[in-house]
Amino acid sequence: MGIPFTLGVVMLVGAWVRAGMAVARGARAGRSPEELAIEVGDAAVEPLALYGILVLVGGFLTVVALIAFGVAERLS
């Protein structure tokens, strides 16, 4: 169970780093806070949504696999 969790955490950290890099690229003089907020939101939403879905699906599959393993152990 630790391996899928660790992979999910690594993916989420990667998404945060990418969003942080987008903030750093977008933070230049003369930009309004609204423009910066829009750019940060656009940079962060897509990867975080994708990685969040991957983590949820991976967690679900892990639980299903553990249940199947438990049933197989019980039957044998």
Q: What is the pLDDT of residues 9-56, one digit of tens each?
A: 887 788 778 777 877 776 677 778 888 778 777 777 777 777 778 778
pLDDT category of residue 74 using cuts at 50, 70 and 90? very high
pLDDT of residue 16: 76
In the chain, what are the domain boundaries?
A: 2-75
CB-based contact 39:27 (threshold 8 Å):
no
CB-based burial of residue 36 (10 Å sphere; 0-12 exposed, 13-18 middle, 19+ buried)? middle
- What pTM was estimated for this model as a whole? 0.50
Residue 47 to residue 69: CA distance in whole angstroms: 32
**What was the pLDDT predicted at 21?**
80
Q: Find all residues with CB under 8 Å of 26, minimum gap 6, and list them.
A: 35, 36, 39, 40, 43
